[in-house]
C-alpha cells in the first residue's frame, strides 16, 4: 500500500519505465486528481465527524 507522495511518485516512475516525459505527465495527472479530490474528502470527513 502507498502511504506517502514519494512512494506514489516512485511507483509511477517504475510503471513508466524511467521515461521522464511520461513520468512528468503521469505525475501531473495524478497530482491534479488528488487536488480535485481533497475538497470532496474534506467535506465528507467534516459531515461524518462533526455533523456540519
Tell me which H or E stretch contains 44. Answer: helix 20-50
What phi and psi values does residue 39 have, to the nearest 5 degrees? -60, -35
Q: For the chain, what's the residue count?
A: 52
pLDDT score of 10: 78
Query: 4-51, pLDDT tens digit by residue?
Result: 778 777 777 777 666 666 666 677 777 787 888 888 888 888 888 887
Are residues 10 and 16 in contact, defined by beta-carbon separation less than 8 angstroms?
A: no
pLDDT score of 18: 60
pTM confidence score = 0.38
Amino acid at each position: 500500500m502507498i502511504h506517502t507522495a514519494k512512494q506514489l511518485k516512485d511507483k509511477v516512475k517504475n510503471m513508466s519505465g524511467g521515461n521522464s516525459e511520461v513520468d512528468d505527465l503521469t505525475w501531473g495527472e495524478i497530482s491534479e486528481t488528488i487536488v480535485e479530490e481533497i475538497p470532496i474528502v474534506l467535506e465528507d470527513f467534516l459531515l461524518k465527524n462533526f455533523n456540519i
